[in-house]
Amino acid sequence: MGNTAPDHPVQWYTERIEYLSGFVLPERIERLRGVLSLRTEYMTICAENTFHSQNASALVRTCEAFGLQRIYTVEELCRFRPNVNIVRGSDKWIDILHSRSTAEALGKLRAEGYRIIATAPHQEGVTPADFDIAAGPFALLFGTEHAGLSAEATAAADGYIHIPMQGFVESLNLSASAAIALYILTDRLRSSNIDWRIERERREKILFKWLMASIRDSKRILDRFPLCPFAHKSVPATEEC
């Protein structure tokens, strides 16, 4: 679950995608490519010590629904464990990158060029509608269900986002906050002139992973790739290869 594809030259993926495409309907390939064309890694989320499996599951489904390809997790105090009955397979379409500490996760995010944005009330905070999405890729940090973000994560943030409350309730639960923030920010992103789409080489790796997850006995089928007469040809392959 959530592992990125192995590191190979893009041609390696392209050849195998062409081969594996013979084992699914053309409509399925079109659907996969269509969804992938709307995926983004310009923004991502990092969930710090998510305790409840229901919230972990909701985060996975929310990210997948709004087109985020990556989720980073901090599992210093507890594991990030989505409930299979709730995610209902949505976890196979995204990449979940696990970290054992906040420092490790923040290091990964900064290495990828992300701004660190804490989702917490703060005097310098802005709403998702006012946040500067054009300043560069960003990662939204979400804290635990009860204590919120750690002091380490809050202190390391480059900026802050909060959802304004109009009633007596001072905050929303984790999954609700994530859904609201992601809806607003992804809508703004796709309406902008920002180059938010995933680059071609990365898309090929993701599509390969998706095909492997979509095809029954995909590993066994791929083992026959160099020998299959349909390899490199745009014709339907069969189980007889």
Assess contact for 128 and 34: CB atoms under 8 A. no
User: Of 103-107, 162-166, 168-172, 217-221, which range is least confident?
Assistant: 168-172
Judge whether 2 lies within some domain: no
Whole domain around residue 64: which residue ranges? 38-190
Question: Which residue do the tokens 């013979």 mark?
Answer: 22
Assess contact for 171 and 136: CB atoms under 8 A. no
Give the pLDDT confidence score for residue 210 in this predicted structure.
96
**Which residues contact residue 97 at a Cβ distance below 8 angstroms, ignoring those fewer than 6 apart?**
2, 4, 70, 71, 72, 73, 108
Judge whether 200 lies within some domain: no
- Digit-coded pLDDT (tens) for 196-237: 999 999 999 999 999 999 999 999 999 888 755 444 444 344
Q: pLDDT averaged over the chain?
A: 88
Judge whether 227 lies within some domain: no
- Digit-coded pLDDT (tens) for 10-44: 899 999 999 999 999 999 999 999 999 999 999 99
The span from the CA of 237 to the CA of 229, in Å, is 8
**pTM of the predicted model as reported, rounded to 2 decimal places:** 0.86
Q: What is the mean pLDDT of residues 187-200?
A: 96
- Number of domains present in the structure of the chain: 1
Q: Between 110 and 238, name the one with better pLDDT.
A: 110
Distances (CA, A) of 57 to 92, 140, 145, 174, 184: 12, 17, 14, 11, 20
The span from the CA of 192 to the CA of 2, in Å, is 28
**68 — alpha (psi -120 to 50), left (phi > 0) or beta?**
beta
Judge whether 230 lies within some domain: no
Judge whether 50 lies within some domain: yes
DSSP secondary structure code for residue 97 in this structure: E
Judge whether 141 lies within some domain: yes
Judge whether 239 lies within some domain: no
Assess contact for 48 and 142: CB atoms under 8 A. yes
Pick from 71, 91, 22, 35: which is nearest to 203 by CA?
35
The CATH number for 172's domain is 3.40.1280.10
Judge whether 22 lies within some domain: no
Assess contact for 176 and 81: CB atoms under 8 A. no
The count of C-alpha atoms lying within 13 angstroms of the C-alpha of 89, restricted to the half-sphere facing its C-beta, is: 3
**47 — alpha (psi -120 to 50), left (phi > 0) or beta?**
beta
